[in-house]
Amino acid sequence: MGKPLYNYQKEILTAGCSEPLRLILSSRQTGKSTTLAVEALIDCLFNDGYTVLMISLTERKGADLLDKSRGLLHRFGDEHYKNNILTDNYTELRFKNGSRILSLSSDPDSARGYTADSVLVDEFPHLPCQEDILDAVSPSAFRQGRIALSGTPNGIGNMFYTLWTTEMSCWRIEIPWTRCPDFTEEKIERERELCKATGRNFAAEFELSFDRRASSIWSIGQIEDCIIPQPEKPVPHIRIAGYDPARDLHNSGLVVVDVEAGRKEVIHIQNLKGMPIPDQATEVMRVMDSLGVNRLYMDEGGGYGKSLWDLMASHQHKIKLVNWTAKMKRELIYRIKTDTENGRCKFWNIPLLPALKHDMVSVDPNSNELFVENSNGHCDYIASLMLAYTEFKSPILQPSVRSAYSFRGYGAPLADQSAMRISF
């Protein structure tokens, strides 16, 4: 490696190496990812026919983790590398002894079907679908191998926190910044100031606090990196809208997303606060027509969605009602987060974008409600964006989405659309 292992890295590689389940709660910049890369390399060099799955938040991060193993192997010299490696590509290192290291993204389906001797999950507390990932990898790994889940805290409403705080038979190690010899008081003070400037939670990232205030998953800086100028003559593509209706003085958000080849751009944000339900229906249909919306996802909770659906007879074939669940909300939030990190979600610099930014940094993924109350009532712009993201659903979301259609004859609606509605 070019330098000695820290004591806690040796502990992970020795004392915990035979345990079926290991939990590694670690500060940022303490070398936890490097430790996983070392372990994967050791296992494959000294065991024939051994399979290691390395799972990361994104495909790019997975490739970076695999590259750590590859770089360590190259330190032995080119001849040693050639004598041991059969296949080397973006997602796999295959050894001549039949062993292999596979790099996978956090999509649970990508991990199914593999019989793994070891599963190493990096930044597990920040992954979407944590329960589904464990369901996908547990059968093979627990039968004949082991699993290591590592990361920094991400609040209390996730599987990692549940495992960490549950009295169960598993191996645990806690690595705050104070255990790392590389950290000095001067360096940690710089990190503290950087976290303050970027909106990150120092207590969570370096002191391993599970405090709920550590659960904001965006900083203002991360969002601002995704803002682009509004085009003078935009070319319309597929357009998906999300609509979170409300009555009284609560915000009633409407967001429109333009989609092309996997790239999403938020092109319209609107607040229908204070409008009577019939007026909201009229305004939403006007926006759908003027912006060429192909499909609109609408929250049916509270009875507002069904009432609005009945009022929008001429547009019912484009509208889908969504029944929210806490699991579904977390899934959608992390899909948006992953897209913003990877440059697949951008925001036009339009009115009400500051309100959406406020909602995004206020999101609490550990709460069933997911939103905070402010002086104007619920902040529902991020909820509307999440509804639009239902279009890009995974199998886990499908049971919660109901398509709504009305029978129509020669373009004229029947007298009672609600009685003829089909939901599936």
Same domain membership, residue 204 and residue 296: no
Average pLDDT, the chain: 80
Note the pLDDT tens digit of each residue in 314-359.
999 999 998 877 778 877 888 888 888 888 999 999 988 888 887 7
194 falls in which pLDDT band (50, 70, 90)? confident
Cβ-proximal residues to 89 (8 Å cutoff; 6+ apart), any chain? none
Same domain, 176 and 252: no
**Contact predicate 58/126, CB 8 Å:** no
Q: State the amino acid at position 94 in one-letter form.
A: R
What is the arrangement of strands in the sheet containing 422-423, beginning at the earlier edge strand? 227-228, 345-348, 263-271, 253-260, 238-244, 295-299, 319-322, 401-405, 422-423
- State residue 26's pLDDT score: 94
The continuous run of DSSP H or E covering 163 comes out as helix 159-165
**1 inside domain:** no
Confidence of residue 410 (pLDDT cuts 50, 70, 90): very low
- CA nearest 417: which of 280, 297, 312? 312
The total domain count for the chain is: 2
- Residue 205 and residue 350 in contact, taking contact as beta carbons nearer than 8 Å: no
In a domain, 288, yes or no: yes
What lies within 8 Å, CB to CB, of 19 at 6+ separation is 146, 170, 171
DSSP code at position 226? T
Same domain, 415 and 304: yes
Query: What mean pLDDT do residues 256-261 have?
Result: 92
Residues 189 and 318 in one domain: no
Query: Are 169 and 233 found together in one domain?
Result: no
Which of 176, 198, 215 delimits the end of a domain? 215
Q: For the residues 243-253, what does the mean pLDDT come to?
A: 75
Tell me: do 347 and 413 sit in the same domain.
Answer: yes
Residue 38, domain member (yes or no): yes
- Taking a C-beta distance cutoff of 8 angstroms, is the pair 45, 71 a contact? no
Partners of 95 in the beta sheet? 85
The verdict on residue 182 lying in a domain is yes
Together in a domain, 53 and 181 = yes
Record the tokens describing residue 392, joined without a space.
């890009």
- Domain range enclosing 49: 7-215
Q: What is the pLDDT of residue 418?
A: 35
**Mean predicted confidence (pLDDT) in 31-60:** 91
User: CA-to-CA distance for 239 and 289, rounded, in angstroms?
Assistant: 11
Q: Which of 17-21, 139-143, 171-175 has the highest mean pLDDT?
A: 171-175
CA distance 299 to 89: 44
Q: What CATH number did the domain enclosing 51 receive? A: 3.40.50.300
Nearest-angstrom CA–CA distance, 333 and 361: 11
Structural domain contains residue 12: yes
- Give mean pLDDT, residues 142-168: 79
Q: Distance of CA 175 to CAs 11, 187, 208, Å?
A: 11, 17, 8
| Placement of tokens 């983790």 in the chain | 65
> What share of the chain has pLDDT > 90, as a percent?
30
CA distance 258 to 244: 18
Q: Which of 164, 188, 215 is the last residue of a domain?
A: 215
CB 370 within 8 A of CB 376: no
pLDDT of residue 285: 95
User: 407: domain CATH number?
Assistant: 3.30.420.240
Query: Which region holds residue 87: left if phi is over 0, alpha if psi is between -120 and 50, else beta?
Result: beta
Query: Are residue 270 and residue 122 in the same domain, yes or no?
Result: no
| Cβ proximity of 76 and 69 under 8 Å | no
Domain boundary among 215, 236, 271: 215
Confidence band (pLDDT; 50, 70, 90) for 377? very low
Residue 275 included in any domain: yes
Same-domain check for residues 39 and 183:
yes
Q: What is the pLDDT, as a whole number, of residue 330?
A: 76
Q: Examine residue 2 and state whether it is found in any structural domain, yes or no.
A: no
- Asked if 240 and 93 sit in the same domain, the reply is no
Are 408 and 321 found together in one domain? yes
Whether 330 is covered by a domain: the verdict is: yes
- Assess whether 273 and 394 both reside in one domain: yes
